[in-house]
Structure 1
Amino acid sequence: MPADPVARPPVVYYSPSAFASSLWRRLRSIWTPRFGLSLLAGQAVSLCITCTDVTTTELVRRNWFLPTTQTFLLYLSLFCIYTPYTIYQCEIGGWAKMVWKDGWKYFILAACDVEGNFLVVKAYQYTDLLSCMLLNSWSIPACLFFCWIYMRPKYHWTQMLGVLVCICGLGMLAGSDSLADKNVAATHRGKGDAFMVVGATLYGFTNATEEFLVRRSPLYEVVGQLGMWGLLISGIQAALLEHADMPTNSWNGATIGLLAAYTAAMFILYTVAPLLYRMASSTYYNISLLTSDFYGLLFGVYLKITHYSPFWLYFLAFAVAILGLIIFFWHATPEEQGKTDPQKPSYVSTLRGEGKLSGGQNLV
C-alpha cells in the first residue's frame, strides 16, 4: 500500500535506549482515534456474532431449526429500514435507476451472503465444533484474495504477520475447547467440513465485495440493496426448503424472543460491518471475529448455558488475538487499508470507470 503522508516513526537499533524509545514512539503512533474506533467496532461485531451463536444454539435446543427462515427476518429488517431511506435520499426515480443499473451486483452479493449463512449453519449439523472453528478461518485468506482482485492492495509483511498471530489465537481457543472436552462428535465430518469451507469462501467473497461497494457508494444504498435482494432470495429458499417444517417447529414466546435477539444482533452487525470496512478493511473485520469464541464462553458461563469452566488458555488466546489486531496496523494505518496500488489497474476501473468514482470515503 502507498506510504502514509505521516509515516510511522522508525525503529532504530544502534543502542538499547534508542531502540526502547523508538519502539515506544512507534507503539504510540498506532493508538490513534481511528484505530481505537476500529478496535471497538471489531469487538462489537465479534460480540454480535457471539450473540447470534448463543441464540441459535438455544433455538436448536428448543427444537426450532429453520436456518433460512431465521436469516429471512434479518434481510426483512434491513430492507424495511434502509430501502425507504435510500428512496428518500435518491427519490423513487433515482432509486429505480440505481436498481436497474447496479442491481445485478447487489443480487450476486446477496445470493452469496444468503448461501454462505445457510451452509455455515448446516455445517454445524454434520461436523464437530473444532473443525468448524478452524475451517471458518478460511474466510480470511479468501477475503484477502478477493480484496486483491478488486482493489490490488499491496499487503505488508507485518499485516500478514498480524493475520497469522490472530489465527494462532484461534488455534489456542480451539485447543482449549479440545482440552476442556467441549468438542462434539461429528456425524458426517466430510460433508460438514465441505459445507464450512464453501461457506467460509462465500463469506470472504461477500466481505471483500461489500467493502469494494461501500467505498464507492452510500452505505444505506449497499445495505438496503443487500436487504432487498436477500429478502427475495431467502424468502424463495425458505418457501421451497422449509415450508413443511415450519408448522412442526416450536413457536412460543421463548423462541420468538430468541429470534428477535438474533435478528437485532445481526442487524447491528450488518450495520457496523460496512463502517468497519471503511475505517479499516474487510480483512480486519474477519480477524476481529476470531475473538468471538472467547466471548461465547463468557456468555455460556454467565447464562449457565454450558457447564464448562473458563480454561486458562482462553484468556491467553484472547490476548494473542488482540495482539494480532495491533500488529496488523504496525506498518499501515487504518486509513491506508483500503487504498490501492496506483501503478496497477483495479477491478473498479473496468466496472465503473476511473472518472466516475465519487470518493466513497465521504459517502454515508
Structure 2
Amino acid sequence: MAESTHDVATKDAGNYQYIKQKLMVLLVGQIASCMIAGTSIISYTLANEYNIDMPAMQSFLNYLFLFAIYGSIYCANHSFGTTFRKKWMTYLFLAFVDVEANYCIVKAFGYNSLVTVMLFDCATIFFIVLLTMFYLKIRYNWRHFLGIILCVVGVSLQAITGYNKEEGRLIGNFLGILSSILYAISNIGQEKVVKDSGILEFLAFIGFFGVQISGLQVLALEHQQILQFRWNWSAVGLFLGFVCFMYVLYSLTPYIMKFAGSTWFNLSLRTSNGIGAVFEIYVFKKNIYPIYWLFLSIVIIGLCIYHINKPPKTKNPTRDPQIPAV
C-alpha cells in the first residue's frame, strides 16, 4: 500500500530532525574541541613561556567559576541541601577524579611538548570504549568500531611520527596516560549522572566539590609559588583565558554526553590535535612531520564514519535523549 501524504510528510520531518540533531552534535563537539585546544595551548604557554607551575590553581579558578554561576542557579530553584545529603558521595568521587585528571594533564605540559601531551591524552578513547561496554552496557556495531579504530590508528601514527626522545620524558608520559584513565572514569560517570539527574545539578555539584578539592591542593602544593611569583597582566590574562575556555567546555560537555555519549565526545575532541599542531609550528616555532596532516585526516574520516551511524545501543534501550534546557 502506498504511503499517504501525511505519512510521507511525517517521515520527512523525522529525517530532517534527525539530520539537524546530528549536525548540531557535530558542531557542538567541534566547539568543545576548540576549547580543549585553547586550554592546552594556554597551559603549555604558562608552563614553558612563563615558568608557571600551578595546575591546581588553574583548576580551582575553573570550579569556582562553575559553582558561582551554576550553583547559584541551582540553589535558586532547587533544594541544595536535600540533593547534597542524597548524592554527596557520588559527586565527591566524580569531582575528585575530574580534579586529578585536570591536574595531571596540566602538569604534563611542563615536561613534554604541546602535541605530545595532546596525543597521549587520546588514549582516553580506548579506556572509554572499554568502560562503556562493561559498565554502561553499550553495544557498538562494526561501523562504530571501524570509526573508533580509524581514530585510534590516526592518533597513534601521529604519536609515532611526532615523538621526540628528548621531549618524551617518562614523567610527562606517565602523567598523560594517567590523565587519560582518570578522564575516562570521569566521562563515564558524568554521562550516567547527567542522564539520571540533569545537567544543572551536575555542574552545580561538580563545581561545589571541585572548589574544595582543588583548593586544598592549592594550599598544600602551590601556596609558595603563588606568594613568590611576580604576577603580570599577561599571566593574569592567560589564567582568565584558561578559565573562560574551561567554562565553555564544561557547559557544553554535559549536553554532548546526554545526547551523543562519552565515546562520541572523546572522538570529537581529537580534531583539537590539528589546532595544537598549528600553534606548535607557527607560534612555538617547532617542526612537525608533514605526514602528520595525513594521519589527522584519518582521524577526521573515523569521526565521520562513527557519527553517520545511528547511536550505539544499550542492552536496555530507552528513548533517545533530546538536548535539554538547563
Deviation at 1:145, TM superposition (A): 2.6
Match of 1:69 in 2: 57
Match of 1:165 in 2: 150
Deviation at 1:169, TM superposition (A): 2.2
| C-alpha distance in 2 between matches for 1:325 and 1:250 | 44
Deviation at 1:86, TM superposition (A): 0.6
Aligned pairs (5 A) from 1:272-351? 272-301=252-281, 304-308=282-286, 312-332=290-310, 336-337=311-312, 339-342=313-316
Match of 1:351 in 2: none
Deviation at 1:320, TM superposition (A): 1.8
Aligned pairs (5 A) from 1:252-263? 252-263=232-243
User: Given residue 39 of structure 2, which amino acid in structure 1 is its aligned partner?
Assistant: T
Provide structure 1 residue ranges, at least 5 long, that are not aligned to the other structure: 1-27, 344-353
Q: 1:46-96: per-residue Cα shift (whole Å, max 9, x none)?
A: 111111111112212112221100111000110001001011221xxx221
Instruction: Indicate which of 45, 48, 53 corresponds to 2:40.
Output: 53
Contact 2:115 2:273 in 1 (8 A): no
| 1:111–1:360 distance in 2 versus 1, CA, 3 Å | farther
| 1:155–1:168 distance in 2 versus 1, CA, 3 Å | same
| 1:272–1:137 distance in 2 versus 1, CA, 3 Å | same
2:159 is the counterpart of 1:174? yes
Q: Structure 1 length as normaliser, TM-score?
A: 0.77
Q: Structure 2 length as normaliser, TM-score?
A: 0.86
Provide structure 2 residue ranges, at least 5 long, that are not aligned to the other structure: 1-14
Instruction: Indicate which of 31, 35, 45 corresponds to 1:44.
Output: 31
SS at structure 1 position matched to 2:248:
helix
| 1:360–1:229 distance in 2 versus 1, CA, 3 Å | farther
Instruction: Indicate which of 221, 226, 230 corresponds to 1:241.
Output: 221
2:221 is the counterpart of 1:221? no
Deviation at 1:140, TM superposition (A): 1.2
Match of 2:230 in 1: 250
| C-alpha distance in 1 between matches for 2:316 and 2:174 | 38
Instruction: Indicate which of 184, 198, 207 corresponds to 2:178.
Output: 198
| 1:130–1:41 distance in 2 versus 1, CA, 3 Å | closer
Contact 1:156 1:331 in 2 (8 A): no
Structure having the higher helix fraction is 2
Deviation at 1:319, TM superposition (A): 2.4
Match of 1:101 in 2: 86
2:66 is the counterpart of 1:88? no
SS at structure 2 position matched to 1:137:
helix
**Aligned-CA RMSD value:** 2.8
SS at structure 2 position matched to 1:138:
helix
Contact 1:128 1:186 in 2 (8 A): yes
Contact 1:30 1:329 in 2 (8 A): no
| 1:307–1:363 distance in 2 versus 1, CA, 3 Å | closer
SS at structure 2 position matched to 1:151:
coil
User: Given residue 198 of structure 1, which amino acid in structure 2 is its aligned partner?
Assistant: L
SS at structure 2 position matched to 1:96:
helix
Deviation at 1:197, TM superposition (A): 2.1
Number of positions where the alignment pairs a residue of Structure 1 with one of Structure 2: 310
- Worse-matched range after superposition: 282-291 or 227-236: 282-291
| C-alpha distance in 2 between matches for 1:136 and 1:210 | 18
Match of 1:22 in 2: none
User: Given residue 319 of structure 1, which amino acid in structure 2 is its aligned partner?
Assistant: S
Match of 2:125 in 1: 140
| C-alpha distance in 2 between matches for 1:241 and 1:157 | 47
Match of 2:98 in 1: 113
SS at structure 2 position matched to 1:224:
helix
| 1:40–1:310 distance in 2 versus 1, CA, 3 Å | farther
Contact 1:215 1:360 in 2 (8 A): no
| C-alpha distance in 2 between matches for 1:273 and 1:187 | 30
| C-alpha distance in 1 between matches for 2:275 and 2:115 | 16
User: Given residue 291 of structure 1, which amino acid in structure 2 is its aligned partner?
Assistant: T
Deviation at 1:226, TM superposition (A): 0.5
